[in-house]
Structure 1
Amino acid sequence: MDENRRQFWALYLTRFAEGFGFVALITLLPYYINELDPSGTTVLGVTISAGLIVGLYTSGFTFVQTLAIVPLSWAGDRFDKRTVLLVVLGFGMVVYALFPLVDSSASFIAVRALQGIVVTGAGLMTLSLVGQIATGGTRANYIGKANAASFAASIVGSLSAGVVYEAFGFGPVFAIVVAIMFVAWLGTFRYLERDVTRVAGFPFTDLALNRRILTVSSFRFQYAFSVTLVRTWIPIFAGVAAAEGGLAYGGLAVALTVVAEKFTNMCCQPFTGTLSDRYGRALFVFAGGAAYGLVALAVPFAPAIGAALGAPSEIVVGIPAMLAGLAVPLGAWFPLETIPSQVTLFGDVSPAFLPLVALSGLLGVADSFREPASMALFADEGTDDGGVASSFGIRELVWRPGSVIAPLLGGWLMYEVSMASVFYVGGAFALTGVGTFFAILAWRHGASALTEW
């Protein structure tokens, strides 16, 4: 048990390192755009606009991620997953060390593409190993803990990367990323046991026809559109100008709407994973997906909810009376009248702010029911049929169409229909996904469908 605990902690640290590097780059992306100042160019007679080049900053990463899924999954099943993970982490240290050296859009796009291999490989191998080491009765719980580590990295990374950049520039941010990945590499090398499983052939072929994987994929394919739309447009709704349908909040307020979802998801997943292990996977996938869709539909009503509840338009925190004693020693350095009695954390926000943060937090709670159960189901099938890495690879591939198409759909809806329509469509995708999922289960298992697996 102690040996397994050390293995899990090594994998959690790796999950944290992968998430920290990913979100640090996302946080710095606007600064790279300012620094590199992309402009239009002509390649082989084809004119590429500045907007398309900026799009390649992200789509190049996503495209290589998609290409990397199948070969990395196959390598994880065919060889030692521990070795593959160590190679990916070592490669990741090199890739992140290159980011401060980029001096053009072309070099940035190339290094971001390499980052796609790192993020995909680390994510697939860590989740595959967690699912493989855990037993069936604890699998969702351990996967939930691994996801919690990733969400913790997202919170810490998003809040710290910008601060470090403003003070010291790009270099120190990526030095921190490389250092964290090196610690994760050492932990993996020291505590993770060699993976003795070997799967001959090409397990994607058999797993692609697995009935349970096909059933949950019918939900996951549609749910990818929902999550991509809602997660992407929550901060857009909070931050863009009122003329474009937004709330025009400042950077800190927008960041809090994003962090709220990640924080509740992080806190809940180990617990909801345990419940999924106890009561079944399908029920939690259905409940989490349905709840996510209903909360998404409520997001556009945040202003109305705030007005009805009389929510404040600014958040003020009073300094506790117990700190008043500090006035005497502080008075030696600062005039006493400069010591405030209260601090305004968020000014110039509308009454919609607190309801929007609460709804974002509820989205995290809802998704925490779905995610560990869904991941554990793929791990169950991959472990039973041979090819857990390939099973997670199929899971990633099913998600890709939604993650690529949904932003284009959301942009069109925002400008051609309304801001609210983005969330209505996002919520509808989640609800049609759970409806399809339940219909297939009911057809195969009858009235007790949601408790069958």
Structure 2
Amino acid sequence: MNRNSIQFYALYLTRFAGGYGFITLITLLSDYIDALDPTSVSVFGLFTVGAGFIVGMYTTGFTAAQTIAVVPLAWAGDRFDKGDVLVGVLALGTVAYALFVPVDSSLSFIGVRALQGVAVTGAGLMSLSLVGELSAVGSRANNIGKANASAFAASILGSLLAGALYDTFGFTPIFAIIVVLMAIATVTCWLFLDDDDTRVRGFPFTDLALNRRILTIATFRAQYAVAVTLVRTWVPIYAGVSAATGGLAYASLAVSFTVVAEKFTNMLCQPRTGALSDRYGRALFVFVGGGVYGLVALAVPFSPAIGTALALPAAFPILGPLSPAFLPLVGLSGLLGVADSFREPASMALFADEGTDSGGVASSFGIRELLWRPGSVVGPLLGGWLMYEVGMEWVFFVGGATALTGVLTFLAVLVYDFGPGALTEW
């Protein structure tokens, strides 16, 4: 095994550890909603904050911290050694996950989620920047797909273990596993990553922000962030919360299957779809993946009707009594993973291409993150309001519609700026 391969495997391990921690919190979100009782949060004893706002802040606190952290972390990655920055944020993540153990209120949970957001952002930016920098152009999306597949493999394992361990032991053992994984990833990167000699003076965000291809894909990504944040966050919430709030009231283990389905199909497909986008271009895969994702999202609220129409079983071994909606929900979640596997490595490779050519790959990925942040901050607050004030199904209707408007806007701008053949030429 050559030195370059060792570095890739160290970065894949980083993606694995980060994916495990991230998905664990997503899987347990409905349990935190029930355990921490967001309806009882008051500010200085003067007034009570609405439950919809607090539930939204469970995710928005995380994404707001990510937004604040993107620019300084990306700048540091281009200006200094990316490996050193990566080791630092992995160590921060280790501390953050340890702090989830004493959490006992909505406010403390939101605060630790914010710290987790900084660590997740830094690890994602630096690991993907290094993968992109170490890769040749013709294998870049394929290697990014492999890195993402590592994260999805961890997501599968993390979802299943989170549900099973929580039902039996509670929160503490779950976070002990995450802390150990993060510590191993920290030490591995410290030992095996070569020095990063790339140094970018100045502020590369300025030039990259005016890059025509980045501006074009921004028309899609800014809208798609709302769609994915709503759909990806609310599928397990829909599966796990009580029927009184519009959910299916499944136990944690059953909820984990809805999460695993998306991650499993995404994991299987990404290396292959990434290789295909290396061969046939990026834009077509972004367009198709985003459009299909929107259509599948619109179908999620019809899971109970689909299950009833097909006379699907309402009870399963180990999982026990559920409802006929279970299999359709798991199937639709799997289709969401397939759709996103077309979009994600192609999109990441496009930003890596532009950043590498311009000498600021970390800043390019930083712009990619910044484009995501407004939607990912507003999305959960919108989702919380829709869930409590309008109806659970409207979370998915709004999410699906936003994905479709995103791909149509992207296509229009792409054709206008680069010509009708650009969809297959990028």
In the superposition, the TM-score normalised over structure 2's length comes to 0.90
Q: CA RMSD in A?
A: 2.7
The residue number in structure 2 matching 1:12 is 12
The residue number in structure 1 matching 2:24 is 24
Moved more, 416-425 or 97-106: 97-106
Looking at structure 2, the residues matched to 313 and 124 of structure 1 have their Cα atoms a distance apart, in angstroms, of: 43
The residue number in structure 2 matching 1:292 is 293
Aligned-residue offset at 1:210: 0.7
Looking at structure 2, the residues matched to 441 and 345 of structure 1 have their Cα atoms a distance apart, in angstroms, of: 47
Aligned-residue offset at 1:193: 1.3
Aligned-residue offset at 1:161: 3.2
Confirm or deny: 8 A CA contact 1:314 1:344 kept in the other structure: no
Structure 1 unmatched runs, 5+: 316-342
Looking at structure 1, the residues matched to 150 and 365 of structure 2 have their Cα atoms a distance apart, in angstroms, of: 18
Instruction: Indicate the SS of the match to 1:220.
Output: helix
Please tell me the residue identity of whatever aligns with 2:7: Q
Confirm or deny: 8 A CA contact 2:225 2:372 kept in the other structure: yes
Q: Deviations over 1:100-124 (max 9, x none)?
A: 3556666554443322221111111
Instruction: Indicate the SS of the match to 2:420.
Output: helix
1:169–1:240 CA distance, 2 compared to 1 (3 A): closer
The residue number in structure 1 matching 2:400 is 427
The residue number in structure 1 matching 2:196 is 195
1:130–1:209 CA distance, 2 compared to 1 (3 A): same
The residue number in structure 2 matching 1:394 is 367
1:251–1:96 CA distance, 2 compared to 1 (3 A): closer
Instruction: Indicate the SS of the match to 2:101.
Output: helix
Question: Is structure 2 residue 416 aligned with structure 1 residue 443?
Answer: yes
Moved more, 186-195 or 393-402: 186-195
Question: Is structure 2 residue 330 aligned with structure 1 residue 357?
Answer: yes
Instruction: Indicate the SS of the match to 1:138.
Output: helix
Q: How does 1:203-282 map to 2 (within 5 A)?
A: 203-241=204-242, 245-282=246-283
Q: Deviations over 1:232-289 (max 9, x none)?
A: 3323443455565544444433322222111111111111111111110001001101
1:94–1:414 CA distance, 2 compared to 1 (3 A): closer
The residue number in structure 1 matching 2:357 is 384
Looking at structure 2, the residues matched to 303 and 101 of structure 1 have their Cα atoms a distance apart, in angstroms, of: 37
- Equivalent of residue 346 in structure 2, options 373, 380, 384: 373
Looking at structure 2, the residues matched to 79 and 249 of structure 1 have their Cα atoms a distance apart, in angstroms, of: 47
1:230–1:194 CA distance, 2 compared to 1 (3 A): same
Confirm or deny: 8 A CA contact 2:160 2:260 kept in the other structure: no
Please tell me the residue identity of whatever aligns with 2:347: S
Q: Which has the larger radius of gyration?
A: 1
Confirm or deny: 8 A CA contact 2:241 2:249 kept in the other structure: yes
Q: How many residues in Structure 1 have an aligned counterpart in Structure 2?
A: 424
Percent identical residues: 69
Looking at structure 1, the residues matched to 398 and 35 of structure 2 have their Cα atoms a distance apart, in angstroms, of: 36
1:353–1:31 CA distance, 2 compared to 1 (3 A): closer
Q: Deviations over 1:70-100 (max 9, x none)?
A: 0000000001101111122223333333433
Q: How does 1:43-58 map to 2 (within 5 A)?
A: 43=44, 47=47, 49=49, 51=51, 56-58=57-59
Looking at structure 2, the residues matched to 120 and 208 of structure 1 have their Cα atoms a distance apart, in angstroms, of: 19
Looking at structure 1, the residues matched to 37 and 299 of structure 2 have their Cα atoms a distance apart, in angstroms, of: 38
Structure 2 unmatched runs, 5+: none
Instruction: Indicate the SS of the match to 1:421.
Output: helix
Instruction: Indicate the SS of the match to 2:350.
Output: helix
Question: Is structure 2 residue 347 aligned with structure 1 residue 347?
Answer: no
Instruction: Indicate the SS of the match to 1:100.
Output: coil
Aligned-residue offset at 1:221: 0.8
Q: How does 1:55-66 map to 2 (within 5 A)?
A: 56-66=57-67
Moved more, 163-172 or 133-142: 163-172
In the superposition, the TM-score normalised over structure 1's length comes to 0.85
1:404–1:358 CA distance, 2 compared to 1 (3 A): same
1:92–1:312 CA distance, 2 compared to 1 (3 A): closer
Confirm or deny: 8 A CA contact 2:26 2:236 kept in the other structure: no
The residue number in structure 1 matching 2:129 is 128
Moved more, 410-419 or 441-450: 410-419
Looking at structure 2, the residues matched to 124 and 34 of structure 1 have their Cα atoms a distance apart, in angstroms, of: 33
Q: How does 1:411-422 map to 2 (within 5 A)?
A: 411-422=384-395
1:186–1:360 CA distance, 2 compared to 1 (3 A): same
Looking at structure 2, the residues matched to 88 and 33 of structure 1 have their Cα atoms a distance apart, in angstroms, of: 28
